[in-house]
Structure 1
Amino acid sequence: MTSDADDALSWDGDEDLPSRKPALPDGWSAVGKDSERVGRVADDGTVVEAEAPRGLSTPMLLLIGIVGGIYLLYVVGWIIGGLNLQGSASFLIPTVMYQVALWAAVLAPPLWFAAVWLLTRRSPSWVRVFGFVGGILLLIPWPFVMTGVVGA
């Protein structure tokens, strides 16, 4: 016995349509039954388990925040120190060369941070820490450190 609800969910002629599986791109398995095994299909036909993304630990998050703040202070230091030395540097090198060097120095800390962040994603934590600390030591804004805000 069929009810009106079953009739509402079907159309005449549904049984005549050939049933085909939806096509997936090569190398992917479908979601559904056994969905906990979803992942890429290897060349031999076995399902490769999908890796769960690892989060950053609390100490690493704190380190990244502190290092990001230091690099932001370095950017400000390079701007202030570089602009203070601009007048005395104009006697030694052309203004265009000084401007290029100044903006390269200003952009160095954020570029270093981005490079370490992106290039050490799959590396052990100590490699990322070493990269960040190395940038802190290499990118010190010496014009600001030596002259300060007042200038020489």
Structure 2
Amino acid sequence: PPFAKPGQTIDVTVSSIGNAKSLRGGSLLMVPLKGADGQTYAIAQGNLVVGGFGAEGSDGSRVTVNVPSVGRVPNGATVERAVLSPFSQGGDLVLNLNSPDFTTAQRLAEKINDVLGDSVALPMDATSIQVRAPGN
């Protein structure tokens, strides 16, 4: 998840790849969670919690509720490496209006400048207002 720091735990969702009918009672063995870049970002393991179930009768009838081949491991992964975010590295914050309007953008920038000082906020267009982050 965004802004996760090393040492924090996160929930893990597990799905069956093969032809397993249910993951009920299963455990996830220790596995690295890797990003698209091949780097390990978290290590996961633990007991699965499955919300679905299935039952079969001797006559071949079958009932399935929810998805028994998918489970969760609450707090099952420990973050090993943080994902870099431009939010924490940049010096500016951009506010976007729900409804684009030049007048509203200008007024919002003026109010921010009234409170934080001149040239802190600048309307970029009808939707966005750029706000310079404080140095400290």
Please give the TM-score of this superposition, normalised by the length of structure 1.
Answer: 0.18
Greater C-alpha radius of gyration: 1
Q: Which has the higher strand share?
A: 2
Taking structure 2 as the reference length, what is the TM-score of the superposition? 0.19
